[in-house]
C-alpha cells in the first residue's frame, strides 16, 4: 500500500450516496492514472458486482464490491497471482487472459461412462457365448 491508494480503502459504504461519491473519485483516479481497472476473461462472460483495480504506483490489486440493497459493498486490497496483461490503447483498462485454468471436466462422469462401456462389453461377450452354447449343444 502506498500514499496514493491507502486513503481509498473502504470497508463498507454507509449509503448509496457515499458509494456514488466514492465511485466518482475512483473514476477520477483512473483517469489521472493512479488506478487502472482490470477486466478478466471471467468478468466479460457475465455481469459481476465486483470490479478489480490496480494501483499504478505500488502495483497492489484492489477489489470494488458494488453495494446492492442491504449489502453495503467495499473497496479493499487483495492478494492475487500474476497474470498476463494486455493494455488497451485508449484507456487505462487491462484485459487479463488467463489460459492456465484448463477445464478439468467431471472425472466421475468419465469413470461412469467407462464403467458402463466395460459392462456392455462383458454383457456382449456373455451373450455371444450363451448364443453359441445354445446353438452347439
How many Å from the N-terminal Cα to the C-terminal Cα in the chain? Answer: 87
Its domain, for residue 124, covers 104-137
Is residue 62 located within the same domain as residue 119? no
Give the count of alpha carbons within 13 A of 50, CB side only: 12
Strands 93-96 and 61-65: unpaired
Is residue 137 located within the same domain as residue 81? no
Which pTM does this prediction carry?
Answer: 0.52
Let me know: does 92 contact 82? Beta carbons within 8 Å. no
* Tally of domains in the chain: 2
Question: Looking at residue 127, what is its pLDDT?
Answer: 94
Is residue 120 located within the same domain as residue 90? no
Closest alpha carbon to 27 in 73, 70, 91, 77:
91
Is residue 76 located within the same domain as residue 111? no
Task: Flag residues of the chain having pLDDT under 70.
Answer: 1, 40-48, 79-107
Closest alpha carbon to 39 in 56, 23, 54:
54
What backbone torsions phi and psi does residue 85 show, to the nearest 5 degrees? -125, 145
Question: Looking at residue 42, what is its pLDDT?
Answer: 60
In this structure, is residue 1 part of a structural domain? no
Amino acid at each position: 500500500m502506498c500514499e496514493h491508494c491507502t486513503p481509498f480503502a473502504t470497508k463498507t459504504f454507509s449509503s448509496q450516496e457515499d458509494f456514488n461519491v466514492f465511485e466518482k473519485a475512483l473514476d477520477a483516479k483512473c483517469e489521472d492514472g493512479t488506478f487502472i481497472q482490470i477486466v478478466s476473461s471471467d468478468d466479460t462472460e457475465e455481469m459481476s458486482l465486483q470490479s478489480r483495480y490496480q494501483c499504478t504506483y505500488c502495483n497492489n490489486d484492489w477489489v470494488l464490491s458494488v453495494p446492492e440493497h442491504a449489502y453495503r459493498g467495499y473497496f479493499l486490497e487483495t492478494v492475487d497471482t500474476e497474470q498476463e496483461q494486455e493494455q488497451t490503447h485508449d484507456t487505462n483498462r487491462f484485459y487479463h487472459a488467463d489460459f492456465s485454468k484448463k477445464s478439468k471436466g467431471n472425472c466421475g462422469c468419465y469413470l461412469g461412462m467407462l464403467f458402463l462401456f466395460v459392462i456392455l462389453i462383458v454383457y456382449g461377450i456373455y451373450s455371444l457365448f450363451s448364443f453359441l452354447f445354445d446353438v452347439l449343444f
